[in-house]
Structure 1
Amino acid sequence: MNRWAFWLRRLVAGAVALVALSLLIFGATELLPGDAVSAVAGPTATEEERAAVRERLGLDRDAATRYLEWAGGALRGDLGTGYLGARPVTEVVGARLPHSLLLAALALAVTVPVAVVAGLAAGMRAGGPVDHAVSAGTLLVAGLPEFVLATLLLWALAAGPGLLPQVSMVPLGGSPLDAPEILVLPVATLAVSGIAVATRLIRARTADIAATPYIEAARLRGVTGPRLALRHVLPNALGPAVQALGMVTGALVGGAVVVETVFGYPGIGRELQEAVAYRDVPLVQGIALVLCAIALAVLLLTDLLARALDPRSGGAR
């Protein structure tokens, strides 16, 4: 398939997926428990006051009309205004999203080298002691929910010995980088989860490649150890490894919702959790759509990069 045709198909598929996700997000927020009108008007509001609030928020119109208005505004970069505090959703996202992206970037910087080395080491000797140790360890960690892992790290490094702060409070008027110690626990939680998943994916691909006649022939020629892994296995595993890391990156952005809540980190995930709790529908919709768009963009970019690096596609020549 022509490279440009492949990219065009991926872009169209990504756009269709985003539209489908926007419909799911809008439909899901329609089913949220509670009543947004009550949250805004207050529990003591009269029926007349509730009706006025419903009209002001546009909730007196049918769902299809409200979806089209919301989707059209999103295309223009306008995600609406939150119910509580009348905060523009775009401004909230712009203020909080960089904090979450910082967490994801730092976690990815730790995840990539560790997962590649561990995955190669395990896959090159599938069935050996290193493979068994890596597979067992990553399976155990991958099976732990992120809030459990975060709680364990919090107990081991903060609540008990007091080596790190238990709450990731950003200095007033500053950024997380002004107090780097508050980043350690959230980044560690995301990185450990990411390493477990990425290592297993890379290990599986490495084991498949290591069993091919091409690699066996290289071994017969006396090529072994790091030279075999780096010169013969890694180039063929690079494309799938990039795709695996792309999946992990998307998971890191989504996982920030849980991690930020546990550690009180002021990112987009914590903002989403609070918006759900207060039934702030426009804020929930806007944040969820942005997170989905980021995840889709990462998957699309890594898919294209993986194809370019795949020797069979001719993109790496």
Structure 2
Amino acid sequence: MSLVLAVGRRLATAAGTVGAASIVLFAGSQVLPGDAAGASLGVNVTADELAAARTELGLDRPLPQQYADWLLGALHGDLGHSLVDRRPVWELVATPLRDTVLLVAVTTVLTVLLAAAIGVPAGLRPGSRLDRLLSALAVAVVSIPQFVTAGLLVLLFSTLLGVLPSVSLVPFGGTPLDRPEILILPVLSLTLFAAAWASRIVRAAVIDADAAPYVDAARLAGLPERRVILRHLLPATVPACAQTFGWLIGALFGGTAVVERVFSYPGLSQTLVDAVRHHDTPVLEGVGLLLAVVIVGCLLLADLLATLAGPRLRTAP
């Protein structure tokens, strides 16, 4: 029963977080200078034309009513229509969302593999030359801003070596998988930072698990070191690592904008930029709400996995 209550509390917290995010998104979109009516009509517009356009778009209604209608529609899966071209928001964001999900998915897989490959050996031999070398490299990579890393990768692989495209051009009507080479530099830019950061958490989790009494008992019982690591040590790192990678996936969804802009990758960042430029609040709010749901969902899933994996956390208040 305690586990059910813990899960219920986490679900309620996640729902409240998304609700708070929706209020912030709506309020933030309202303080942008100008509105969709003015942006769509241009500069040579009369006051009567502007008022008529605002009435047609529903921008003259009280803000609480606009928010309530938008939130109610979102709860029913309707994010509204673009104020610029009148297309459904879902139709506008479906393809960019798919491409961003692909970018994050590939980055996540490589990050988990690299973080484990770096963090586990370093954690098993803390203070060794290997640990110091890997730690120094990880800190150095984390210290470099992502746009600088992306620029250096373009300089090396596109300008100097000429082996990879510097712009992620997707064939018309296709997907990035039709030209897998356009994924390499964006994925590499995200993976270097993410894996370097996550490896530090994996290292710390391995060090903590290695100091646990039951791991020492397994070694004293004469079990082979490989079995001690695989059966006793690594499973103890699952709660900390699950939370880390869950947070990381959410952060990747919220942090791909820089990399997508550098490589002109057709993800959600371009959709957001266009929505801000044209004051298209339904698109801006819809994309923001989708990202909030995805990020909170990732954090919730990571928290639940950590709770299920760690017996001590199951009974925690």
Q: Is the 8 A contact 1:167 1:265 kept in 2?
A: yes
Aligned: 1:176 with 2:176: yes
Give the alignment's Cα RMSD to 1 decimal. 2.0
Aligned: 1:261 with 2:236: no
Distance in 1 of aligned mates of 2:145 and 2:88: 33
Aligned: 1:3 with 2:6: no
Which position in structure 2 is the counterpart of 1:197? 197
The letter for the 2-side match of 1:239 is P
Distance in 2 of aligned mates of 1:57 and 1:149: 43
For each residue in 1:178-230, what CA deviation from the matched residue of structure 2 results, as whole angstroms up to 9, or x when unmatched? 11111111111121122122111111222222233333444455667544432
For each residue in 1:117-156, what CA deviation from the matched residue of structure 2 results, as whole angstroms up to 9, or x when unmatched? 2111122222222222222222222233322222221221
Aligned: 1:238 with 2:277: no
Which position in structure 1 is the counterpart of 2:49? 49
Which position in structure 2 is the counterpart of 1:108? 108
The letter for the 1-side match of 2:206 is T
Matches within 5 A, 1:1-317: 2-221=2-221, 226-312=226-312
Distance in 2 of aligned mates of 1:143 and 1:64: 43
Distance in 2 of aligned mates of 1:158 and 1:173: 25
The letter for the 2-side match of 1:133 is L
- TM-score scaled to structure 1, two decimals? 0.92
Moved more, 4-13 or 227-236: 227-236
Q: 1:145 and 1:276, CA in 2 relative to 1: closer, same or farther beyond 3 A?
A: farther
> Which runs of 5 or more structure 1 residues have no equivalent in the other structure?
none
Moved more, 5-14 or 222-231: 222-231
Name the SS for the 2:256 alignment partner: helix
Return the structure number with greater relative CO, CA threshold 8 A, min gap 6. Answer: 2
The letter for the 1-side match of 2:212 is T
Distance in 2 of aligned mates of 1:33 and 1:134: 48
Deviation at 1:34, TM superposition (A): 4.2
Distance in 2 of aligned mates of 1:171 and 1:286: 26
- TM-score scaled to structure 2, two decimals? 0.92
Q: 1:277 and 1:155, CA in 2 relative to 1: closer, same or farther beyond 3 A?
A: farther
The letter for the 1-side match of 2:13 is A
Moved more, 28-37 or 248-257: 28-37
